[in-house]
Chains A and B, each alone.
Chain A
Amino acid sequence: MTPAVKLTLAEVCRVLEAEVLTGGETLDATQVTVGAGADLMSDVLAFINPEAVLLTGLANVQSIRTAVIADVKALVYVRGKQPNADGVALAEENGLPLLCTPLTMYEACGRLYQAGLPPCLLPPRCAHDNDEVQTGI
C-alpha cells in the first residue's frame, strides 16, 4: 500500500467510477482522510472516525441518518444501489454528498485502499468496557 493520503470526493468519485446523486458542488472542496465499509449501522457508529467516506449496500433512509449522526463526509452506495427520493432529499438537507458506484463492496474498498486511503483507527478499548453495569437510575 502507498503511504496514507487524503482524497477529495472528486478523486473518490473517479476511483470508484461513481455517479453523484447529490452534493456535486462540494466534491472538489471536500477531503476524506479515512474509509469504511459496513451494512450494519451500529457497527458504523462503533468504529467510524470523523472525515470518513462510508461505503454501504444499505440504501435506506437509516443509512443517511446514521451517516449524518457520525459526521461522515460522504456516503457511497455500492453495486449500483440507490436511495429513494426521500433519502436524497434528507441527504441534501443535511449537506451529505451521496455517490453511487457500480462496483461491489469488495472492489470499491479495494480501490480506495489501493489509492492510499487508510482505514478508520479503531477506538481504544475503554477502561470501563468490562465494568459491571450500573443499574440504579
Chain B
Amino acid sequence: MTTTKFRREFDVVGDDFAGAGRVSTEIKALLKRVGYAEQTIRRVAIAVFEAEMNVVMYARRARITLDMDPEGVRILVDDVGPGIPDIEVAMQEGYSTATDRMRQMGFGAGMGLPNIRRNADEFAIESEVNSGTRVRFVVHAR
C-alpha cells in the first residue's frame, strides 16, 4: 500500500452506452495496483459503476475525481445535466425514470443511488435542476 495521496480524473460522456462502465473498470484496476483490500475495491467499484451509469443514462457529461490515500478512497462525480428535482424520491429503492430502451439494456431497477449509499461510509448528493448533479462518497480502507 502506498503512503502517498494521489488524485486521478476521468471524463464520462452521456448516452455512451457502449463505453459505459469503462471508467469504473479502470478505477477498479487502479485500486488493485495500489493495493487496497478486496472488499474496499469491490465497494468502490460498485458505487462508481452506479454513478457512472447514471451519468450515461441521464446526464450530458461528467468529471469523476478519484482521491486515494491510505485511509480510503474519495470519489466526486460532478455532472452537467438535467439535475434531480426531488432527491428524497430518487433515493428510494425502485424509483426510476429509465426509458424502455434503458430497461432493455438491463437498467432501471431503481437501485443505483441506494447501492452507492450502501457501499459508502460517507455519502452526499446535491443537485440543481437544469444544471447538474454532484455525488460524493468515501469508502474507508479496511
Q: Which A residues are within 8 Å of any B CB, using their own CB?
A: 39-43, 45-46, 50, 56, 58, 60-63, 65-66, 68-71, 94, 123, 126, 128-129, 133-137
Contacts and interface: CB of A to CB of B under 8 A. Distances in A.
A61 B49 CA distance: 14
B124 interface: yes
A63 B53 CA distance: 13
Contact of B20 (A62, A126, A135): A62
A45, A70, A135 — most chain B CB neighbours (10 Å): A45
B105 A62 contact: yes
A136 B106 contact: no
Interface of B: 17-18, 20-22, 24-25, 28, 38, 42, 45-46, 49-50, 53, 76, 87-88, 91, 105-112, 114-115, 117-118, 123-126, 134, 136
Contacts of B21: 62, 65-66, 69
Given A42-B111, A69-B21, 20 more contacts: A40-B111, A42-B53, A42-B107, A42-B109, A43-B109, A45-B46, A45-B50, A50-B38, A50-B42, A62-B17, A68-B28, A70-B46, A71-B42, A129-B117, A129-B118, A133-B87, A134-B123, A135-B124, A136-B124, A137-B76
Contacts of B22: 65
A71 B46 CA distance: 10
A69 B108 CA distance: 18
Given A71-B42, A136-B126, A40 B107 contact: yes
B88 A133 contact: yes
Contact of A46 (B20, B45, B114, B123): B114
B91 A133 contact: yes
Contact of B49 (A43, A45, A58, A133): A45
B108 A40 contact: yes
B110 A42 contact: yes
A36 to B, nearest CB: 14
Given A65-B21, A137-B134, A58 B91 contact: no
30 contacts: A39-B106, A40-B106, A40-B111, A42-B50, A42-B111, A42-B112, A42-B115, A43-B111, A45-B49, A45-B50, A46-B111, A46-B118, A61-B18, A62-B21, A62-B106, A65-B49, A66-B49, A66-B106, A69-B45, A69-B49, A70-B45, A123-B118, A126-B118, A133-B87, A133-B117, A134-B123, A134-B125, A135-B125, A137-B76, A137-B126
